[in-house]
Amino acid sequence: MRKIHIPVMVICMAVASLTELRAADVSVDIEAELKAVSAFVWRGRTINDEPCFQPSVTAGIGDFTAMLSGSWNLTSVSNAWQDGRVDATFYYDLRFKNHIIRPGFAAYIYHDDPAGKAKDTYECFVQYTYDTLLLPTLIVYYDFSKMDGFFATAAISHSFTVIPDKMAIDLKLQLDGADEYYNGALFNYPAADGTGNISADTTGFVDVSAKISVPIKLGKNCTLTPELRYVTLLDATIKDVARKGGEDTELLVYGLAFSMTF
């Protein structure tokens, strides 16, 4: 039996503490979400091209937020230890007029590893958002464990109200990039001839994605959100390595989420 990792324990304790504070009439925001997706695509790489279940719980008090999320296969796949994991994230929001700066920490815990191949990874990040039209956002991650590299995300988004307080259409466009160390660790596959591994040791833009989601309010505290996301790899070296590894270089992902706030 694997040891319980300290980052997960810290997040669990934080969520429990926030729940207790809620009972003590302190303003705490808690959201639970149940989500099913047709595939699991993470930072450009298709981790699993079959359906997955991805629940999450988020708890915040003031400018502090703690989140636990997970991904589990809904079908039988050969590399199950890669597809199933728990993500623990903690961050703090700093606001200066229209500027929002969000430093944080994340841990990615692989909970199904019978062969002992998976290595948990840890990263710190800083997010900057300018609160104006299209909400331009830049996030820089540094993985100080297995990846030992940088990953960056630039995004714009906008929400259109369809029915006030009932239904909206949310659009998001995102561009990802990483250095050679991160890409080399993320896009890494066994060679077809069995002589070792092939990896995308290159610095550049990784992928671009476009997402449309339609949150629909169900009563006061519940929301049903269908979504559609298109992802395609950009870098020629990454594309070539992904193809040789037997993975898709572009994918259309369907999703349906049910969330409840407390």
Residues 197-256 have pLDDT tens digits of: 899 999 999 999 999 999 999 999 999 999 999 999 999 999 999 999 989 999 999 999
What residues in the chain have per-residue pLDDT under 70?
1-26, 76-83, 111-118
DSSP helix/strand/coil, 233:
strand
**Residue from 117, 114, 113, 121 nearest 88 by CA:** 121
pLDDT at 84: 75
CA-based nearest residue to 43, from 253, 233, 198, 241: 233
| Residue 208 near residue 172 (C-beta atoms within 8 A) | no
**What are the C-alpha distances in Å from 110 to residues 42, 43, 184?**
14, 17, 19
Judging by DSSP bridges, how do beta strands 137-143 and 99-109 pair with one another? unpaired
Domain range list for the chain: 6-261
Tell me the three state secondary structure of residue 234: coil
Which of the 8 DSSP states describes residue 34?
E
pTM of the predicted structure, to 2 decimals: 0.87
Distance CA 174, CA 158 (A): 12
Q: Which CATH class is domain 6-261?
A: mainly beta
If you search the block for the tokens 């992928």, which residue do you land on? 207
Whole-number pLDDT of residue 202: 96
End-to-end CA distance of the chain: 34
CB atoms within 10 A of CB 229: 20
Q: How far apart are CA 156 and CA 172, in angstroms?
A: 6
- What pLDDT, on the 0 to 100 scale, is given for residue 75? 81
Q: What pLDDT, on a 0 to 100 scale, did the predictor assign at position 4?
A: 42
